[in-house]
Amino acid sequence: MKKSPLAPDTIVELPEISGVILGTAATHMKYKNRDDLLLVLFPEGATVAGVLTKSKCSSAPVDQCKANLKSGKMAKALLVNAGNSNAFTGQAGIDAMTSNIDLVCKIASCVLDEVYVASTGVIGELLKAELINKKLEEGIKVEKDNWQQASDAILTTDTFPKLSTKQAKIGDKLVTINGFAKGSGMIAPDMATMLGFIFTDAALDQAVLQALLSSENDKSFNSITVDSDMSTSDTVLAFATGKNDKICDVRDPILDDFKEKLSELMLDLSHQIVRDGEGATKFITIKVSGAENDGSAKKIAMSIANSPLVKTAIAGEDANWGRIVMAVGKAGERANRDALMITIGNQKVTDRGMRVNGYDEDLCTQHFQGNEIDIKVDVGVGEGEATVWTCDLTHDYISINADYRS
């Protein structure tokens, strides 16, 4: 599969996180020439937080993670496989997953609800637990600097690994935040066929870590879309292994720099997912302002971002801005037609409910011919605003998904 034209020029090297060790293996469950299994082990006392799919058909691993998070226990291990999502597989899928977890418990000297699991791939096919168990029994070599291999092992239709790292100050301590993610298709708000894993050597109470992750997730992973399809398996987990004195209040100003760097890292990873959208050739930023509230602005922005007509017009470099008007109107949110203002790139297109005098379509077309597209819409009813990110919809998207299982 050819690499996305929107891929970053270089792959970021991630530093060590104290106590975190990672290992990968090839089960050959779906992929023949690459690793597709990831095992991460954590030191005693690692806290964990998670945000998981809202799909009513969630996978067995998602349900297991939700149960683990409710238990409030620490995390000792993370097991991820690519190529099979273990979703819609009934009790057999649960049994398969549990057999994998039982072996991880022996490796990590822990109990079931201290092991987090994630799976990504085809829905409805029974997980071949014996292939995973074979690798676990043989022994997966875990090391502290396996970040690149770890990121590679969880990919499916992705064309490049997605990694990011930041350093932040908590008081007088410098802490590290590492993250990697996968995702290319079935990407939509409320998570997606997207797995994201974040690791920090900060010492954060579980409630604090959860509050930080949930807040930043809404502004990053929950603000992207490739194709509007919500997955059964989407998972973002954050693990904190402890370096500073444990922070127990999310409002503590000592966390300000950490919050900022966590936000930057999650935005970076989510943007990389959009840049690797199946068949994508253009990265699109959509900013909506003047809405009734921020939630309304986001719904309008997502209506534009998910519109096949808008996305194909951009793919074809056709400045058919009327499709943006259509997408605003169908969103079901308050908007003042007679005050609607649309800007494409630096070119104002509409104002006061109609096309502006002196509108130059060539300027909009030139903007669409680039690979970084900016669309701004003011709906003229309030102060609400939101920004979302998407990509164009090309013939390659159809080809990739039509051939996915072949």
The pLDDT tens digits of the residues spanning 311-326 come to 999 999 999 999 999 9
Q: Contact at 8 Å (CB) between 165 and 176? A: yes
Distances (CA, A) of 149 to 155, 163, 183, 185: 11, 11, 16, 21
* pLDDT exceeds 50 at position 3: yes
Q: Tokens 């100050």 identify what position?
A: 169
Q: What is the pLDDT of residues 380-400, one digit of tens each?
A: 999 999 999 999 999 988 887
Q: What is the pLDDT of residue 22?
A: 98
Question: Can you list the domains of the chain with their CATH numbers?
Answer: 21-275 (3.60.70.12), 283-402 (3.10.20.340)
Q: What is the pLDDT of residues 186-245, one digit of tens each?
A: 444 443 458 999 999 999 999 999 999 999 999 999 999 876 555 667 899 999 999 667
* pLDDT exceeds 60 at position 362: yes
Distances (CA, A) of 79 to 58, 197, 321: 17, 11, 46
Q: What is the pLDDT of residue 24?
A: 98
* pLDDT exceeds 80 at position 403: no
Average pLDDT of the chain, as a whole number? 93
Catalytic residue among 24, 47, 53, 193: 193
Q: What is the pLDDT of residue 55?
A: 80
**What is the phi/psi pair of residue 152, to 5°?**
-65, -35
Q: What is the pLDDT of residues 218-229, one digit of tens each?
A: 999 999 987 655
**Cβ partners under 8 Å of residue 278, min gap 6:** 157, 184, 185, 226, 227, 396, 397, 400, 401
Greatest alpha-carbon span in the chain: 72
Alpha carbon distance 43, 36 (integer Å): 24
* pLDDT exceeds 90 at position 295: yes
- Whether 193 sits among the annotated catalytic residues: the reply is yes
Average pLDDT, integer, range 72-86: 96
Which of 227, 237, 34, 30 shows the shortest CA–CA distance to 123?
30
Report DSSP state, residue 359.
Answer: -
Angle between helices 60-71 and 90-108 (to 10 degrees): 50
Read off the pTM. 0.93
Q: What is the pLDDT of residue 53?
A: 84
* pLDDT exceeds 50 at position 300: yes
Report DSSP state, residue 143.
Answer: B
Q: Which of 31-40, 109-118, 186-195, 270-279 has the lowest mean pLDDT?
A: 186-195
Q: Higher model confidence: residue 305 or residue 185?
A: 305
Q: How confident is the model at residue 282 (pLDDT cuts 50, 70, 90)?
A: very high
Q: What is the pLDDT of residue 406?
A: 45
